Amino acid sequence: MVRAKIDGIYVFTLNLVVHPDYRHRGIGRRLFELVEEQALGVDGVFAIIGHAASTHIDFYATSGLRPVSRLTVISNRVNV
Ligand SMILES: CC(C)(COP(=O)(O)OP(=O)(O)OC[C@H]1O[C@@H](n2cnc3c(N)ncnc32)[C@H](O)[C@@H]1OP(=O)(O)O)[C@@H](O)C(=O)NCCC(=O)NCCS
């Protein structure tokens, strides 16, 4: 499940969760790609992480995002 808010300028990925029985199969990465595909032309893609767990940051890092604050990561692909 992924929930994102697109306001025309930015995309905020708020929740991205894969059922524990289906993790490590590329589903999480694909869900984030679907968000990015909806984000053509925006100025930035952010993901709000629930808490500052390094695993969350590591997961988003595999999709090219980097931390910009304790609870936020941003895609390097501006205007994806
Ligand atoms: C984080 C989460 C969404 C990943 O979903 P997933 O379907 O297992 O992820 P993928 O299989 O697409 O993994 C993509 C890459 O992210 C990295 N990754 C995935 N889970 C990771 C973890 N727990 N810790 C560190 N890196 C992780 C891996 O490098 C992985 O690539 P690899 O399988 O080739 O090594 C899933 O573990 C989850 O639902 N966690 C609980 C909720 C959560 O933390 N949401 C994210 C922040 S709100």
pLDDT digits (tens, 9 = 90+) for 2-52: 989 888 888 888 889 999 999 999 999 999 999 988 888 888 888 888 665
Whether the per-residue pLDDT at 73 is higher than 80: the answer is: no
CATH topology for 2-75 is: Aminopeptidase (3.40.630)
Q: Whose CA is nearest to atom 22 of ligand 1?
A: 55
4 lines ligand 1 (CB under 6 A): no
Q: Could you state, in order of their start, the residue ranges of all structural domains in the chain?
A: 2-75
Cβ 66 vs Cβ 74: under 8 Å:
yes
17 lines ligand 1 (CB under 6 A): yes
Q: Which atom in ligand 1 lies closest to the alpha carbon of residue 23?
A: 8
- Rounded Cα distance between 42 and 7, Å, is 9
56 lines ligand 1 (CB under 6 A): yes
Q: Whose CA is nearest to atom 48 of ligand 1?
A: 49
**Other residues' Cβ atoms within 10 Å of the Cβ of residue 42:** 18
Burial of 60 (0-12, 13-18, 19+ CB in 10 A): buried
**What pLDDT does residue 80 have?**
45
pTM of the model: 0.84
